[in-house]
Amino acid sequence: MIAFADASALVKLYADEADAAPVRSADTLVVCALSRVEVASALWRKHRLDELDSDLTRLLVHDFEADWYGTDDEPARFVIVSVTSAILERAAQVTAVHALRSGDAVQLAAALAARAVEPACDSMLVFDEALRRAAAREGFGA
């Protein structure tokens, strides 16, 4: 299965959160470049909320970066959709249709762009309720 995963889904891969199984089971994860910042931010936020200690947070961010960039031994884990001016324009357009925060609009626009290039990318793994509803209205499965 090829699935687009937003940052809320990617965090589940690293922070041992419930409902990670669908994210772990995807054969290919397509992600928006914005997730590079959002995932690191979410992990460090968990640290600031005392949900993760600093050593574990550093390890999880390191593991995420290894999956993002790849290592000498392993290729990158994700297919990354760049945030282009066309993606930003589409994000602005989807805000007229869906009640989304700006970052979520960028995620949805990236997912739509990915699906336009690869129609098999018809699932969107997301755990934010507003973005999940918008993705469903745009024809994405879970």
Q: At residue 142, does pLDDT exceed 90? A: no
pLDDT at 122: 96
Integer Cα distance of 109 and 90 in angstroms: 6
Provide the pairing of β-strand 2-5 with 28-32: parallel
Integer Cα distance of 23 and 19 in angstroms: 8
Q: At residue 8, does pLDDT exceed 80? A: yes
Superfamily of 2-138 according to CATH: 5'-nuclease (3.40.50.1010)
CA 13 to chain centroid, in Å, comes to: 11
- The structural domains of the chain, with segments of one domain joined by +, span 2-138
| For residues 91-103, average pLDDT | 97
Integer Cα distance of 24 and 10 in angstroms: 9
Share of the chain above pLDDT 90, in %: 96
pLDDT at 18: 83
Report yes or no on whether pTM surpasses 0.85: yes
pLDDT at 133: 97
